[in-house]
Amino acid sequence: MKPLSVSGPARLPYHPNVPTVRETGVLDFEIESWAGFFVRSGTPEPALARLRAEFDRVVSAAEIAASFEKRGARPIRLSVRETEALVARDIDKWTRLIRSAGISAD
């Protein structure tokens, strides 16, 4: 199997010669999956601070970073505002795509 491109915004460190889809000439295509931890609205600030600190500690561990990289992923740490912006951007992007394609749950 030979990789032709990667769908994220940048080349992967372990496949430096594999271009991004954008580099192949498809200018309006970028898909990057992500996962995050979310808590209930109204969670007390001290609990949020502790959760964020523990999550940052785990994600910063060399063995965790290596595990992410081995699977083609990269750990990222976002502020609350950055996370809200990412979620809003993805909701907008996928809502527009679904509507323009006429996709429905029926």
DSSP per-residue letters across 35-97:
------TT--HHHHHHHHHHHHHHHHSHHHHHHHHHTT-------HHHHHHHHHHHHHHHHHH
Is residue 100 pLDDT above 80, yes or no? Answer: yes
Tell me what the mean pLDDT of segment 7-24 comes to.
89
Reported as a single tens digit per residue, the pLDDT across 42-80 is: 999 999 999 999 988 998 899 988 888 887 787 888 888
pLDDT more than 90, % of the chain: 47
Q: Copy the structure tokens of residue 98.
A: 């679904």
Task: Give dist(CA 48, CA 52) in Å, integer.
Answer: 6
For residue 84, which of 41, 53, 28 has the smallest C-alpha distance?
A: 41
β-partners of residue 20 are: 6
